[in-house]
Amino acid sequence: MKKLPDTITDAKLRPIARKVYEGKPVSGADALSLLSTNSVLDLGRLASHVRGELHGDAAYYGVSMNLNFTNICELRCPLCAFSRDEGQPGAYLLTQADMERRVEKAAAAGVDEVHIVGGLHPALPLSYFEELLRSVKRIAPRMFITAFTAVEIDYFSRREGVSPEEVLARLIKAGLGAMPGGGAEIFAPRVRKVIAPKKASGTRWLHIMRLAHEAGLRTNATMLYNHIEKPADIVDHMSRLRSLQAETGGFKTFVPLAYHDGNTAVRARRRVPTGFDEIRLYATARVFLHNIPHIKALWMYVGEKMAQLLLNFGVDDFSGTYSGERVVHAAGAPTADRGSEAYLRALIKNAGFRPVRVNASYERTGRRA
């Protein structure tokens, strides 16, 4: 047990800090206090303590590509700016050939993993997704596949009239390596009814994740915040994840996502999250979710400056590279691609951490593996 450092000066946080330094779980009431504290440096010390015990100075990142096969979706959740109805301007469905071309290109560029998620398209049978995974493995046998949220697994099961266990078994056989954590939103029914009324319930999402863990898959878990939820809903969400994790151990990463209401049907009551909001949320998650190994900040989402800062507030996973956009400075000098691996490594090093390239299973990859 480490001695409680004198640097934790906020009297209200010291009892919580004592639990953290003794390696004991903090309570829901403690999490509520952390979510509202203004002593963010003390909170950062607690989160860094937990992070340091788990990961030392390592900061993980991936070299990955996204394959969003369609934005046509039966649910049309009010929170969603991505989905379209079939035939609506902007609706798309990638062809098999198009996806294969993208995978070939990514494999040739040294990409380690592909993330496949999409809308709930009523015309696509489960066999379509099995074939999609097989074709990725045919083209790039070593490519790690992270695919299909719990909401998609639930949808495939209902559409196909087979159990979610069978859906998972068939997809694993076809090459599925891990599942992303999307669709969790906020579990509280009162909130879910407004932001995603037709989506699988929080209880169903957790059930599918339990089945996935039992089938041997490791998964992420997301949380969408900064809309109409209350702090108690955030704590409820994280508590339910922590409880399932205590049983299955299958969650590898928690990924908070701040809600932005542009182009959606939900008008958030709040402004864009402030720096303090984000710091409190990520650091509280690191302290409260003691049994989930990784906390991820999507640097493209929170911005690279905030992502660097969050490495000092409990985050250990910096997310991944992205390709497609080149920033050319006015001087015209060739600079690192803003989404490139070199750029990401530089950001991590500049924040005082050691970049470690991994796939979604946190297995080391790349030349430096």
CA distances from 248 to 12, 245, 269, 272, 354 (A): 33, 5, 36, 35, 30
Q: Between residues 37 and 71, which has the closer beta carbon with respect to ligand SF4?
A: 71
Q: Between residues 32 and 266, which has the closer beta carbon with respect to ligand SF4?
A: 266
Question: Please, what is the minimum distance in Å from the beta carbon of residue 258 to ligand SF4?
Answer: 16
Q: Does 77 bind ligand SF4 (CB under 6 A)?
A: yes
Strands 58-62 and 64-67: unpaired
Question: Please, what is the minimum distance in Å from the beta carbon of residue 292 to ligand SF4?
Answer: 23
- Using CB under 6 A, pick the residue from 119, 180, 250, 256 that binds ligand SF4: 119
The total of other beta-carbon atoms located within 10 Å of residue 292's CB is 22
Given the rule CB under 6 A, which of 16-24, 77-85, 251-259, 278-286 is the region that contacts ligand SF4? Answer: 77-85
Nearest Cα residue to 47 out of 98, 8, 99: 8
- Using CB under 6 A, pick the residue from 75, 91, 94, 169 that binds ligand SF4: 75
Name the region of 211 (left: φ>0; alpha: ψ -120 to 50; beta: rest): alpha
Give the SS3 label for residue 285. Answer: helix
The total of other beta-carbon atoms located within 10 Å of residue 76's CB is 15
Q: Does 99 bind ligand SF4 (CB under 6 A)?
A: no
Q: Cα separation of 334 and 327, whole Å?
A: 9
Question: Please, what is the minimum distance in Å from the beta carbon of residue 363 to ligand SF4?
Answer: 29
The total of other beta-carbon atoms located within 10 Å of residue 277's CB is 16
Q: Please identify which residue in the block is written with the tokens 């076809």.
A: 174
Q: Does 92 bind ligand SF4 (CB under 6 A)?
A: no
Q: Cα separation of 65 and 320, whole Å?
A: 9
Question: Residues binding ligand SF4: what is the number (CB under 6 A)?
Answer: 12
226-249 as b/e, with b when 16 or more CB fall inside 10 Å?
A: bbbbebebbbbbbbbbbebbeeee
Q: Please identify which residue in the block is written with the tokens 């928690």.
A: 254
DSSP state of 311: G
Phi, psi torsion values for 58, nearest 5 degrees: -75, 140
- x-or-dash string of contact with ligand SF4, 192-221, rule CB under 6 A: ----x--x----------------------
* Token duo for residue 365: 């990859």
Nearest Cα residue to 237 out of 275, 292, 197: 292
Q: Between residues 80 and 153, which has the closer beta carbon with respect to ligand SF4?
A: 80
Q: Cα separation of 120 and 359, whole Å?
A: 26
Given the rule CB under 6 A, which of 75-83, 106-114, 126-134, 302-310 is the region that contacts ligand SF4? Answer: 75-83
Question: Please, what is the minimum distance in Å from the beta carbon of residue 186 to ligand SF4?
Answer: 13
Given the rule CB under 6 A, which of 74-82, 84-92, 225-233, 284-292 is the region that contacts ligand SF4? Answer: 74-82
Cβ proximity of 242 and 292 under 8 Å:
yes
Q: Cα separation of 274 and 157, whole Å?
A: 40
Question: Please, what is the minimum distance in Å from the beta carbon of residue 176 to ligand SF4?
Answer: 19
- Using CB under 6 A, pick the residue from 33, 37, 64, 83 that binds ligand SF4: 83
- Using CB under 6 A, pick the residue from 17, 151, 206, 221 that binds ligand SF4: 151
Question: Please, what is the minimum distance in Å from the beta carbon of residue 75 to ligand SF4?
Answer: 4
Question: Please, what is the minimum distance in Å from the beta carbon of residue 149 to ligand SF4?
Answer: 8
Residues between 44 and 73 with contacts to ligand SF4, criterion CB under 6 A: 73
CA distances from 350 to 20, 25, 90, 176, 282 (A): 28, 32, 40, 35, 20
Question: Please, what is the minimum distance in Å from the beta carbon of residue 79 to ligand SF4?
Answer: 6
Q: Between residues 37 and 149, which has the closer beta carbon with respect to ligand SF4?
A: 149
- Using CB under 6 A, pick the residue from 19, 54, 82, 84 that binds ligand SF4: 82
Q: Between residues 89 and 334, which has the closer beta carbon with respect to ligand SF4?
A: 89
Question: Please, what is the minimum distance in Å from the beta carbon of residue 193 to ligand SF4?
Answer: 14
Q: Between residues 93 and 169, which has the closer beta carbon with respect to ligand SF4?
A: 93
Report the interface residues with ligand SF4, using CB under 6 A.
Answer: 73, 75-77, 80, 82-83, 119-120, 151, 196, 199
